[in-house]
Amino acid sequence: MNFAAGQTYLFPLSENQTAHLWIIATDPNADRLMLVVSLTSLKGSKDQTVILHGGEHPFLKWATCVAYNLSDLINCDTLEDHIKVGRAKMRADMKPETAQLILGGFTASPFTKKRIQEFVRAYKESRP
């Protein structure tokens, strides 16, 4: 399966947990690592660096924010495995301008882990 920045997926798909919409924020690198981040309800959220609204993606029904504190690097194989066994499901892509806004938020948010900020900087520098 080919993954790319701007694609989204629901995870985890289980009876015990609430599924959240996750965004693939970067294209996979040479090691097949990509940066992912989830969205969460704006209500009660500390991080309001990037706020999205209902209609900006088919899954969004109300004000939502990007949970930069939960962002992580994931291997393409790991996401493929989650999809194969039904723990994740691909959804509609983000609009390119929304995906760019989310990517920019990684370096703007005070909640982004340092290693994630470094990954984003390296990713941006490697882009034409």
Segment 87-113 shows an average pLDDT of 97
- Angstrom distance (rounded) from CA 57 to CA 40: 13
Tokens 């004000």 sit on residue: 63
pLDDT above 90 coverage of the chain, percent: 82
pTM reported for the whole predicted model: 0.94
Tens digit of each residue's pLDDT (9 = 90 or more) over 42-95: 887 789 999 999 888 999 988 999 999 999 999 999 999 999 999 999 999 999
- Angstrom distance (rounded) from CA 63 to CA 45: 11
pLDDT greater than 80 at residue 128: no
Buried residues in 31-67 as b, exposed as e (16+ CB within 10 A): eebbbbbbbbeeeebebebbebeeeebebeeeebbbb
Task: Spell out the domain ranges in the chain.
Answer: 8-126
Q: Are the C-beta atoms of residues 123 and 26 closer than 8 Å to each other?
A: yes
Which of 3.90.550, 3.30.530, 2.30.30, 1.10.3470 is the CATH number of 8-126? 2.30.30
The pLDDT, as a whole number, for residue 31 is 96
Q: Place 15 in a pLDDT band, splitting at 50, 70 and 90.
A: confident
